[in-house]
Structure formats: C-alpha cells, structure tokens
Amino acid sequence: MTFFAPFTLPFIIGAAVMAAVLVAKYTLWTIHLPAEDKRLIRRNMFSAKSLAAVWEVVRESLLHVRIWRVNPMLGYMHSSLALGWFLLIAIGWIETVAYLGWGWVPLQGHVFFKYFMPVNGIAEHKAGFEFAMDLMLTVVLSGVALAWIKRMRSRLMGMRRTTRHVAFDRIALSALWFVFPLRYVAESITCAIYGGGSFLTGTTGKLLGEHLDSATLDALSEPAWWLYSIALGVFFVAMPFSRYMHIFTEIPLIFLRRYKLAPSVEEKSYDNFEVEACSRCGICIDPCQLQADLGIDDVQSVYFLRDRRYNMLKLATANNCLMCGRCQTQCPVGINLNTLRLNSRAKLRNIPNEGRYGYLAGLDRSTGEGRTGYFAGCMTTLTPRTLAAMNAIFEAAGDDVWRADSDGGVCCGRPLMLSGETAAARKMIDYNTGLFRRHGITRLVTSCPICLKVFREQYDLDGIEVLHHSEYICRMIESGRLHVDRSDELYTYHDPCELGRGCDIYDEPRRAIEAVGRLAEPEHNRRNSLCCGASLANTVIDDKQQRRIAQRMAAELEATGAGTIVTACPLCHKSIERVADCGTMDLAEVVAKNILRDKR
Amino acid sequence: MRSIRFGYGISKPRAIDIDSNDLRKSNEILREMPELQTCIGCGSCTASCTAGNLTQFNFRRVHTLVRRGEYMGAYEEMNKCMLCGKCRLVCPRGINTRGLAMLIKRKLGDF
C-alpha cells in the first residue's frame, strides 16, 4: 500500500516546512551560543542532569504540572491538548504497528490511518484501539472547547485577562481550533461508510449513516479529509512563526536550563530559547500591578517577549516595568523574565563611554575602622531614622564598623544596570569593590535591598560576607549579642521586591520582628507580595501612578489591623510612608526601639 | 547726533535669548515629559544628588539650561549622574526626574 491520496498534500507540505524551519532555527541558535555555554553543554550532557531534564519534559511539556498549580482549569486545558494530542499520535503509531508490523509506513499513513485502513484486519484489538483513540479525541476536544471559552470569557477560566495576539498567532490559533473538530467529522463520516469507531466517532457515524444515504456520504468523505489535512498543514506552516513554537522549544530549553545555562546582562543566543519558549498563555498579565492598578495592558512580560521576538520592541515598552518579579514567580515555563528585560534595555540603551565617572578615581569618603563594613546605600541617606537605628544596633551589638558611605558614597551600580547602562554600572562596581578590598572588611552589611542584589549578583566579593541588615540584626539577636525587649505591639511586614523575590530573604525580617513584637501577615506576602510602585526599574510611570500602586498595596497592609507597617527597604519605606495612614518604620528602627541596653 | 553722557552705561544683555536658541530638542523633551513644566526650581534634586555630592554636577542647572535650549555641555554633565533616583523621591512636584535624566541623555546624545 502506498498510503498516498491527494488530500494528504497540505499535511505533508506543512509538516516538511515546519521540520525544516525548526531544524534551521535550533541549529543556528546552538551554533551562536557563546563558548562558555557550549562548554557547559558538553560538560553536563552525559550526566544525571539529562535524566532529570527528561523527567521535567514529561512533567512540564506533557502534563503541565506548574500550570495546574497556578490555575487547575488552565492546567486541564493545556494538558488535555498537549498530552491528549501526544497520546493520539502515540496510540495511532502503536495501532499502525499492531496492524502492519514494523515495516515502514510514511507519516501520512499514521496520521490518516483511519482513511487508509477504515476496516482493520485484526478484529480482537480493534475495539480497544478504537476506544482509546476516541477517548483521546474527546479529551482533546474538551481542551479545545475550554480554549474557545477562554478566548471569549477569560474570567470563566480564572483569568481576568487573556493575551492579545499577532497575525501569525491568530492564523495558527484558528487552524488549531479546527484541527480536532475536523478530524472528528472526517473520522465520523468514514465510520458511517465503513463501520467501526467507538463511542464518539462510531456513534456519530451511525447517526450519519441513518440520516444520509451512501452517495451523500461518499461525496462528503473526501472534502472532510481535505479540510482536516489543510487545517493541519496551515497550523504546521504557521507554528514556527507563532506562539506555538513553544511546543517544541520548551524541550531544548528544559535541557539547557538543567545544564546551567542562563541569560545574563547582555543578550546572547541562549535567550532565543527562552523568548520562543513563551507560549503567550498570559498568566503573567494578572499578577502585574501595572495592569491591575493602572490599566496599562501592553507592557507585560508576554507582550515584551512577543515584541522582542518579532523585533518590534520599543524602549518605552521595555522600560515600563517595575521588575517586581511577580510574573516571573508564576511563569509556567520558568522564563527569566527580569533578566531578559534587563538585557533588552542594555541593548537599546547601553552607551559605552570610557570617559564617564572619571571623578571616581581616588575618591574615599568612608569613615571608621572595623571588620564589618556598612554600606547604607543612597536611599538610606534619605531615611536618616534608619541610619540612626543602625548606628544604635551596631553600638549595642558591640561591633566595630567601617562606614563606606557615611559622607555620601558612590552608588552601587544597580540603578544604572536597571536602566540598561551596563558599562557605566561596571565602573561603580569596580570602584566599590576596590574600596571594600582596600579597607579589608570581611563582612558587608547594607540597608538597601537594591544594593544587596547587585552586591550578590554582579560583584566579585570572595571572602566578604554580604548581608542585608535584616539578616545581620536577626543573627545578632539570635546569637545573643543584641538583647531586645518583646512588646505586645502588632506589626505587619511588607516584603520588598528586591529583598524577597530578588534575594530570597523572607524569614529573617520576620524573625527579627517577632523578637520584638507580634506580626500580622497581609493578604499578599512572601513570593506573592505586592510592589510599592516606586521601583527604580520603572522610568515611565509618573508620580500619580506610583502613588496609586502604593495606595492599593498600603491598604492591604493596613487591613491587617497592625499599628505600624514595617519594611526593610528605604525606597519602599518612602513610598509607603506617603500614602499610609498608620506609621511606617524600617525594620532597624523597630528593633532599635526595643534594645535592652542594661543587659549588655 | 551726539551721544549724551549720563555718567553710567547699560551693560550688554546677559539674558538667554530664547529666540536665537534652537528649542527643537527642548520642546521634544517637554513633550515627552510635560510634568517638567511644573518644576519650581527649588533645587531639592541637586541638594540630594549623590553625584552632586562628589562633583560640581548640578541637575537643576542642567535641566533648566536644557529647557532654555542651552545644550552645550549638558550631555557630558548628565553623564555624571548615577541614576540613583534620590532626586525623584525628594521632588516636591513629583517629577519623574530619573526618567528625565535618561531622556535628556537620549535626546542630546548627538550634541
């Protein structure tokens, strides 16, 4: 049997185009990977990491476990389509092997098996296969139905908003919506003529057979298979250029991520895997406060990645993001959304200028002497109460402190980095690193989470332990060097984005607060905490908009009934202070207020 | 006609002649950041400035001159800014000064 009919041509051409484009894309991306990344792949390829990646592919590409966790309805929709389609292909392949043995059957022979062999020879397996195929088709069709509902009424699927798509996506989406209903129709007609089929196609086939005469059925059969083949062909051609590129791209991405590849402050070839692995599911839209509080709905990660992929990214879009990281914690593909946005900004903005910051040479505004260094950070100098509190804490703990910027130091470089001026930031980083080394500190405490993040991620500070003041205070209390009095006062704590999601510090501030009082948690906390709106990462929104974000977030903190809002970031502090009705304090102030001096 | 000696003279005007300045860039900046027109020139931005504490950099001076079309040297001055964002926190008019610093650099990069 040749397994050829004219109607299979659209399918064959579509599949060939798709395969060619996929191979070309992946080959080019891999060739252009930096040498360091290629070395990582070679080193890790033949290790347990590959096995772990295979397991993750099953969990994420087929079962979509992470989406189930975010939203079970969406999880069912995605896994019914992915797993259902995969099983349709897999069972279809087993079916061909069962009937035809291991001999080679062309691709269209597998896909249109029902057309080529409507009545199979082996009767005893038949019912089982027919049932399995119908069951899978039902599962997929239910997924398609949910996709329709999601498009029309996203709220029913637990999403306030779903993604708006570009032309390629719309073509691919429409084709995909029709693939399975058309398959259902075509198979049902074939069942009506030749018999066979199970509860779905068989029953429909019987119904059709009762109401239509055989001449009509014969006339309908070919067009139905043609339409099914065309839908498949159109989908396959559009796929590599649309959001559906994620279906295959997530697989190499999972492997590369397991091999420890990651995006960095500069764009590189690996980013392609992350950008095109975005399925534009739109899960990142709802957590975005720019969307929820300000109604800005064209800058979210899904649109940023889309624009970047199609080379239509504007600076205004790249810049309009708080980089709070709320979307990144929910992304089911685990894309490094913040890093990608940062390196896009760097690409659009970074202007190397060797002459810049010449005034840093020989500068040293530090005071004091000690093994512990204190880098207050620019923002902290605007919250002098925090500075005073830190001084009291250092004194009470009996720590000798070298102060890096008590008389106005140099910025840590993170603000420049957030604005994409990576080369300029490098100058601050080099200056400060030199300063820390020259004074021989072994511990560096900072009051600003923005500084903390850049110290930990971009500075090379081997031999210097970098601590946020919340970690330092917590350690001092727990090691008995700092004695505090516990009162009955009720506090609530706001997780700063850079400290929580940025540096993964959630428990230390809470332990420090609970050492001096009671703690009430707001509705959104820890990984899910809200941004204060004043983020340095966003240079687009204006004062009024910042204020609105802060108000929403402060209202949630006030709803806990706490008398004081505690935070651990001078920028959040400033931002909350101006909108909150109750008092706002830095963690250091709260602890310093309760120091027991006589016990020392 | 003979000039009359009054015993004093009028010095050459030192005022900036807005008519002779090319305000194209200035207008572009104001169009993208209209809130800059609400600036009262209080100088809080300069007072709190991290770079201004270390150098002669004066943000108020730069953005005031740029608004008047005096671009000479503004880009080089702006490059002293570390973008730390303190000026935005202290601005009594809530002007997005950090965005402004980036905007001035972007607009005047070719000057």
Residues A383 and A341 in one domain: no
* Residues A565 and A573: beta-carbon distance below 8 Å: no
Q: Is residue A36 part of a domain?
A: no
**Region of A252 on the Ramachandran plot (φ > 0 left; ψ -120 to 50 alpha; else beta):** alpha
Task: Write down the mean pLDDT value for chain A.
Answer: 90
* CB-based contact, A534 to chain B, within 8 Å: yes
Which residues are registered as beta bridge partners of A401? A372
Domain of residue B29 covers 24-108
**CB-neighbour burial class of residue B23 (10 A; exposed 0-12, middle 13-18, buried 19+):** middle
Mean pLDDT of A126-152: 88
Choose one of A213, A247, A281: the last residue of a domain: A247
pLDDT at A34: 93
Q: Where are the alpha helices (DSSP H) in A369-468?
A: 384-397, 414-418, 422-438, 449-457
* CB-based contact, A570 to chain B, within 8 Å: no
Residues A100 and A183 in one domain: yes
Which CATH number belongs to the domain containing residue A443 in this structure?
A: 3.40.50
Distances (CA, A) of B87 to A375, A504, B27, B47, B49: 20, 29, 22, 8, 6
How far apart (Å, rounded) are the C-alpha atoms in residues A377 and A113?
Answer: 68
* CB-based contact, A316 to chain B, within 8 Å: no
How far apart (Å, rounded) are the C-alpha atoms in residues A8 and B110?
Answer: 59
Question: Is the pLDDT reported for residue A119 higher than 70?
Answer: no
Structurally, how many domains does chain A consist of?
A: 4
Q: Mind listing the pLDDT tens digit for each residue in B18-57?
A: 678 888 999 999 999 999 999 999 999 999 999 999 999 9
Mean pLDDT of B6-28: 80
Q: Tell me what percent of chain A is helix, strand and coil, each rounded to the nearest 5.
A: 60, 5, 35
Out of B50, B95, B106, the one facing A411 most closely (by C-beta) is B50
pLDDT at A350: 67
Asked if A540's CB is within 8 angstroms of B99's CB, the reply is yes
- Range of lowest pLDDT (A2-6, A352-356, A551-555, B68-72): A352-356
Q: Are strands A564-567 and A583-586 parallel, antiparallel or unpaired?
A: parallel
Most B CBs within 10 A among A319, A350, A419, hence the mutation to make, goes to A419
Which residues are registered as beta bridge partners of A465? A443
Q: Is residue B53 part of a domain?
A: yes
Out of B53, B90, B109, the one facing A351 most closely (by C-beta) is B109
pLDDT at A117: 77
Mean pLDDT of A421-433: 92
The alpha-carbon radius of gyration of chain A (Å, integer) is: 30
Structurally, how many domains does chain B consist of?
A: 1
Question: Is the pLDDT reported for residue A94 higher than 50?
Answer: yes
How far apart (Å, rounded) are the C-alpha atoms in residues A415 and A78?
Answer: 39
Among residues A571, A558, A492, A523, the alpha carbon closest in space to that of A322 is found at A571
Mean pLDDT of A481-509: 94
Out of B80, B94, B105, the one facing A543 most closely (by C-beta) is B94
- Residue A600's pLDDT band, with cuts at 50, 70 and 90, is very low
How far apart (Å, rounded) are the C-alpha atoms in residues A454 and A406?
Answer: 20
Domain of residue A588 covers 484-593
Q: Are strands A443-446 and A583-586 parallel, antiparallel or unpaired?
A: unpaired
Asked if A542's CB is within 8 angstroms of B50's CB, the reply is no
Residues A302 and A382 in one domain: no
How far apart (Å, rounded) are the C-alpha atoms in residues A95 and A164?
Answer: 39
Which residues does chain A have within 8 Å of residue B35's beta carbon, measured at their own beta carbons?
Answer: 542-543
Residues A223 and A136 in one domain: yes
- Residue A496's pLDDT band, with cuts at 50, 70 and 90, is very high
Q: Is residue B85 part of a domain?
A: yes
* Residues A419 and B83: beta-carbon distance below 8 Å: yes
Q: What DSSP character marks residue A523?
A: S
**ipTM of predicted assembly, 2 dp:** 0.84
Residues A418 and A388 in one domain: yes
Q: Is residue A300 part of a domain?
A: yes
Distances (CA, A) of A70 to A73, A158, A248: 9, 10, 22
Residues 6 or more apart whose CB falls under 8 angstroms from that of A460 comprise A433
